[in-house]
Amino acid sequence: MSTQTFKPPRLPGGGGGLRLEPAFRDSRSAGARQSPDAADGTLEEKFSLRYTVTSSNGGIFRRLLCAREVMINTLHGQGLCRAVEPVVIDGYAHGGTAGATFIRDAPSFTLSAQSHPEWNATNDPVSRPLFPAFGDAVRARAEERRVTPMLRSA
């Protein structure tokens, strides 16, 4: 599907939903996520991998990461708990919070994670495949935009 013809569908009533995760704000909880206001310590401690995301069978994230479960960092105290088409939850974390999402039938890269993949990206097992995939999508889109005007003028 080309980007010129893609039209995001209208979202039906009801919408998606966010869930506040008070237990994740408590940095003393075992395996807890930390929000910026609750996180004490060094940057390495704040951004440590402490949050397991289980990806969907056959999903985009499982194919990209070559793993069923991955550990991620996060400083978020809330998360998506219910999605509305075209948003697809492709991986879940503790308590059913979305850990990985994408937009169904989007013409380009729409993968997202409930984490900070930019932190320690060269050493993080999730970031290493995620950023090159994003870079490939950006280059493909730039090439498409470069070629399309040439085809129109020919």
Domain at 78, CATH number:
3.40.50.880
Q: State whether residue 154 is helix, strand or coil.
A: coil
Residue 36 maps to a domain: yes
Please give the backbone phi and psi of residue 128, each rounded to the nearest 5 degrees, phi first: -55, -45
Sign, Cα dihedral of 111, 74, 45, 66: negative
Residue 4 maps to a domain: no
The single-letter DSSP state of residue 12 is P
Q: Looking at the whole model, is its pTM more than 0.75?
A: no
Residue 73 maps to a domain: yes
Q: Provide the 10 A C-beta neighbour count for residue 122.
A: 7
Domain residues for the domain of 85 are 17-153
Mention every residue, 6+ apart, whose C-beta is less than 8 A from residue 24: 32, 33, 34, 35, 76, 77, 94
Residue 115 maps to a domain: yes
Residue 1 maps to a domain: no
Residue 9 maps to a domain: no
Per-residue pLDDT 10s for the chain (154 aa) are 333 433 444 544 456 665 655 444 443 344 444 444 445 789 888 899 988 999 999 899 999 999 999 999 888 777 787 888 999 999 998 778 888 999 999 988 999 888 899 999 999 999 999 999 999 999 999 998 888 776 666 6
Helix (H), strand (E) at residue 55: strand 51-55
Residue 12 maps to a domain: no
Provide the number of structural domains found in the chain. Answer: 1
Residue 6 maps to a domain: no
